[in-house]
A and B are shown apart, each in its own frame.
Chain A
């Protein structure tokens, strides 16, 4: 298992390397001139030339990429375009063209907001999705099942920006029960943090609990038809034991997989939710960076998101071997 984890970390790192190379290549091969973008409004040809040297854009692409990778692991030194050189410590992802701040700092600055959304929403959607899915499966064909699954189908087909805006209109603008969503540190003002996060949580959970409810229901119903459930009944177990210990236990495994991947991709930035509610998270950062063609930040957010997804993948696979004894990690 340790060897397996080790191997997966190595291969995950390799994948990250490939992702970074592709992102790097795409952005730097694009027709737009990064130096012109970094130059700002009051730009002169002279300044552009100086920036090109400072950002090492005059170097061949492989060398640029090599230095970029070196920056991540050991840090790098930039020549200043105006004054002395700048030391960028590891992990260095370069400087934003827009704000001239280190990308690493920007990312870490935005992480808590995204983390808040992702963790809070996932607890909510797991609670709602799993419980409604289980109830639906157990009461299959009854009005409870039909109502909850009909609701789930409707919810799954609604878009986040639509639900988000409606909820915000009702609870913030009309009823004024909640403040405008945003982010305050939960360590300083926990109540404000929670109040501001409620809408993003509910909005995200709205869609995802619908999906998880359907997933749980179909998983449970499929498992109920398995031979081992018939065996459990033949043993004389009560239906409660059968449903909890035999059916749910088997139906949970695929859900754990999906959940790990969902959480992983959400940690890279809940793009639409953050955008709708104007929350300064990683998703907001990446959309801003893309609009402004702030290439170092775009590269940074993509890499960060890829990192979370790959990590989630490894964790899920490790967890899977715990949940399913048939899975042997070699």
Chain B
């Protein structure tokens, strides 16, 4: 086991009044140090639940977590809350989508960064504040020694996300989970934040899990892509493979339905019919089958059997969950999908 983060057969289920919601179902992936994995999915795909499970934040809740999560040789799922707590913020940390909500409104930005540093380092409060200033400076906040005393609401949206990053990186974690870190930001600010993350990754060799719904963001920052649908990983591989020779009809649908800055804008977008399923009533068999245009190529299996996650070709780090044979997929892709890309 060489990877810094190794997730094996991770499942997360929530018992509810309407039955058990299988939010994440047998997920397996790994991330090396200095690399970025993009977990992509729409609402309800289970991508955020996965990130919380890695940090062990579902401990003490009603969620049932099974499988294994290895972070730098420590297993998270079976570990006790106090063991995981020592890793949180230190070995692994997280930044969230809405930085305004994710920062405490009544404490200064500096206090909150210093607090994160103090938990894991036996230093004075003064030293921790100095660390906060240093981190704010590192993430590009102008006049950090002054802004350290500001409250979150006094920061702009982009600066708040920078402050979140400063807080998450204050203890030099080896794993950073970024949950939709730029979704609430304007594009020009999003570009700044993504660049900052790339720079920091280069400097510290951090492994990053980037959770997003935006294939563009993944293309620009990630090395690998894990595509999720209704709690399952349906395609997994390098960014180049998944975006250029996508295998799953859902990936095809996503890639042909997003509006782009290139290509003929007068052509209608190829929309995926229907809507993502609710996790309370996930369709039987392949969860995507009610929206899939290609079910006729397979037959009954799509609605009855859950397809296995199979490598696209022998020994390749690109796998897909689809009943269609590789040959049929290739044929369909070149004839029907590629022209729309």
Interface residues of A (CB under 8 A from B): 226-228, 230-238, 246, 249-250, 253, 323-326
Contacts and interface: CB of A to CB of B under 8 A. Distances in A.
Given A234-B57, A326-B151, A326-B153, A227 B98 contact: yes
17 contacts: A227-B98, A228-B102, A228-B104, A228-B105, A231-B96, A231-B164, A235-B89, A236-B89, A236-B120, A237-B89, A237-B115, A238-B85, A249-B104, A249-B106, A250-B105, A323-B106, A325-B153
Given A235-B93, A235-B167, 11 more contacts: A227-B98, A227-B102, A228-B102, A231-B103, A233-B57, A234-B94, A235-B89, A237-B115, A249-B106, A250-B106, A323-B106
B87 interface: yes
Given A236-B90, A236-B120, A231 B102 contact: yes
Given A230-B57, A325-B151, A235 B88 contact: yes
Given A323-B106, A325-B105, A236 B96 contact: no
A236 B106 contact: no
Interface in B146-177: 151, 153, 164, 167-168
Nearest to B113: A235
Contacts of B105: 228, 250, 324-326
A239 to B, nearest CB: 8
Contacts of A226: 101
Contacts of B107: 249
B53 interface: no
Contact of B106 (A230, A232, A238, A324): A324
Contacts, number: 68
B86 interface: yes
Nearest to A246: B104
Contacts of B96: 227, 230-231
A245 to B, nearest CB: 8
B116 interface: yes
A235 B164 CA distance: 11
Interface string B292-316: 0000000000000000000000000
A237 B114 CA distance: 12
B31 interface: no
Nearest to B93: A234
Contact of B88 (A228, A236, A249, A250): A236
Contact of B116 (A235, A246, A250, A325): A235
